Amino acid sequence: MSLLEKIHKPQDLRALTYAELKQLAAEIREEMIRVVAANGGHLAPNLGVVELTLALHRTFASPKDKIIWDVGHQTYVHKLITGRRESFKTLRLYHGISGFPKRAESEHDCFETGHSSTSISAAVGFAKARDLTGDDYHVVAVIGDGAMTGGMAYEALNHTGHNGTSLIVVLNDNEMSISPNVGAMSSYLNRLRTDPRYDKRKADLETMIKKIPGIGSKVAKAAEKAKDSLKYLLVQGLLFEELGFTYLGPIDGHDQMLMEQVFELAKQKKGPVLVHVVTRKGKGFGPAQNNPDVFHGVGPFNSETGEIPKKSSPPTYTQVFGDALCELARRDDKIVAITAAMPTGTGLGLFAKEFPQRFFDVGIAEQHAVTFASGLALAGMKPVVAIYSTFYQRAYDQVLHDVCLQGAKVVLAIDRAGVVGDDGPTHHGVFDISFLRVIPNLVLMAPKDENELRHMLYTAMRHEGPTAVRYPRSTGQGVELDEDFQGIPIGKGEVVRDGRDLTIIGVGPLVNTCELAAHELRHRGVDAAVINLRYLNPLDRELILRYARLTKHVITVEDHVLSGGMGSAVLEILADEGLSGVAVERLGYPGFVDQGSIPILHQAYGLSVKGILGAAERLHVGRRAARS
């Protein structure tokens, strides 16, 4: 029996020797590599926190003590040692365990995290609740250096330091978020990691002070001032101590014994403590260690060689977007591109190489990215902000207030719109239509295929106002790409198939599914029209009303939640017009969507040919067609 098989709860770790812990760490890495190679997942971040996680669970008593993980994609080790080893093989699968903390899974998951920079705020909440109720437990927030580029982290640090709340922040410094970190904080942490002078000279000074016999109060104060002067001279003020934290570190995040000693020291301190731990992303698996950005979030791969299978499939929407933006930027030197720590994931890698002076990675700071873009636009540039749909939620006020209210010519490229698969509810982009279509000045569109995406990006760049284009994570439809760009009239949909018995209104790539369903319905004697809506704001009101009056039956199909989505917008138009006697069936998601592959989720929620046929039967369209 392996050591890992003997670990059923965190308390089991305390019986192990340090030699056994080293063996356990190796077994954990082997298990994670095996499962992620089969299922895909976030490998490199988890390989880097094996010893850190073991040290945390040996020092703190979860679930009484609260361990809160920022972002949450580095919790695989945590799951393996908190009773989920046997179910770990289902990681990220439909109805399996989540790749992120999930309260319903375990009492050891006290806070759910999928977005970045939230852990310290949550930790302050737990700590304050503890103090108010007179309870007695430790609160630990584990946050990566990449997450420290997010402003929310500093809001929480400022609040914590001001109030002197007792909690521990573990800064997991691996020098990366997904892509290499950028900004002043990254440079600051690098100086702390690499400057050997501080620790040595501080130790020399302390030794000298200890040798002075009978130090009086004045000498002690002078010595303390001398220590402070040296500290500020060598590490430029120690930002965290200025914020009210006791700073411990930097320490080796792979030295099990050292981390446990420092965590024990941190537990004894009153007030907030920050422990700076330096880890290596991908540690223990050569391919992930050498290419941590590739193995940050990776699909299935060869567990022996690390080789990722190459798929001969159409380019993804992300790739088509990136290529099209470069084409447009070659023609117009005012076009600039902005991303929030996701240059590769958003398809901007080529743009960054070709136009380095016009590319801006602002770190994990979506709010800043959008307002920064507004400033650029109002000063005459043409910014394109590429961010995943789920992360645009973090910048809603900036989109509404700083971009749209002022009519700034900003293009919002909304990647990963719709369900994204195995990352689950924290990452599905199924709310953006609802929160964006209500903004008056914003033109919102969604392409049915990759060729239409090119034309929509071109249309957005020509429009004198704010625009947004939403597109999915998946590969394209495999259609031929036009050699040149074409403008698409603002607010005009497209009839891709005519019909008199039923109107199927689709948006985005699901239009193709609508066409397949209409073809099947034709064999069943139902003449179904298919509309590619294209624009979600403004809607093609005239087109919707014309076909609603003609067919009297409407099915709306969207990769989005039903509440406030495209189907809701169609119902609003019919209600505003006072058009009664039209039966409407909406297909979409009723709320939060669990993890699972995109095809499985589409089938489960009726966004499939079978689902559309079922909706037609519920509307009794077949019976009507047979009688007519």
Total number of residues shown for the chain:
628
H-helix or E-strand spanning residue 549: helix 541-551
Other residues' Cβ atoms within 10 Å of the Cβ of residue 148: 27
Residues 6+ apart with CB under 8 A from 446: 417, 469, 470, 471, 507, 508, 533, 534, 536
Check if 394 is active-site: yes
Sheet holding 528-532, edge to edge: 494-497, 528-532, 502-506, 553-561, 583-589
What DSSP string describes 214-255?
Answer: T--HHHHHHHHHHHHHHHHHHHTT-HHHHTTPEEEEEEETT-
Task: Catalytic residue, from 51, 112, 260, 366: name it.
Answer: 366
Check if 270 is active-site: no
C-alpha neighbours within 13 Å on the C-beta side of residue 99? 30
Task: Catalytic residue, from 394, 416, 437, 552: name it.
Answer: 394
Task: Catalytic residue, from 29, 92, 102, 281: name it.
Answer: 281
H-helix or E-strand spanning residue 419: none
Instruction: Check if the beta carbon of residue 42 is closer than 8 Å to that of residue 177.
Output: no
User: Nearest-CA neighbor of 431 among 563, 317, 539?
Assistant: 563
Q: How open is the CA angle 256-259-264, to the nearest 5 degrees?
A: 125
User: Nearest-CA neighbor of 520 among 602, 610, 606?
Assistant: 610
Rg (CA), the chain: 28
In degrees and rounded to multiples of 5, residue 275 shows phi and psi of -105, 115
Instruction: Check if the beta carbon of residue 596 is closer than 8 Å to that of residue 421.
Output: yes
User: Could you tell me the end-to-end alpha-carbon distance of the chain, in angstroms, rounded to an integer?
Assistant: 72
Check if 175 is active-site: no
In degrees and rounded to multiples of 5, residue 570 shows phi and psi of -65, -45
Catalytic residue numbers read: 281, 366, 394
